[in-house]
């Protein structure tokens, strides 16, 4: 069963470190394939188990994702409005 971050409650620093490492690793993997997610937020990371110490972290919701090749830029405005940087909205 997948579980969301907000259900975890208080975590120890070591636990957070491992979770952040898994998040960064998932993004590095995607970028290595030339894929940009374009909607990275905690809501789109899920645990594969209720026991987060034994769970894997999975990146979900690739609805805005784009495959970039040859140094192309993604110029379409997208993402969750409440998570978008103010300079993007200007």
Active site residues: 39
Return d(Cα 23, Cα 46) in angstroms, integer.
10
CB-CB neighbours of 40 under 10 Å: 19
Task: Report the candidate in 63, 15, 10, 19 with the shortest Cα–Cα distance to residue 37.
Answer: 63
Q: Is 59 helix (H, G, I), strand (E, B) or coil?
A: strand
């Amino acid at each position: 069963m997948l579980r969301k971050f907000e259900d975890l409650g208080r975590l120890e620093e070591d636990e957070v470190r491992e979770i952040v490492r898994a998040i960064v690793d998932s993004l590095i993997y995607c970028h290595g394939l030339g894929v940009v997610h374009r909607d990275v937020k905690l809501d789109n990371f899920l645990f594969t188990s209720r026991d987060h110490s034994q769970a894997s972290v999975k990146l979900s919701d690739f609805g805005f994702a784009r495959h970039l090749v040859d140094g192309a830029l993604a110029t379409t405005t997208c993402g969750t409005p409440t998570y978008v940087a103010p300079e993007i909205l200007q």
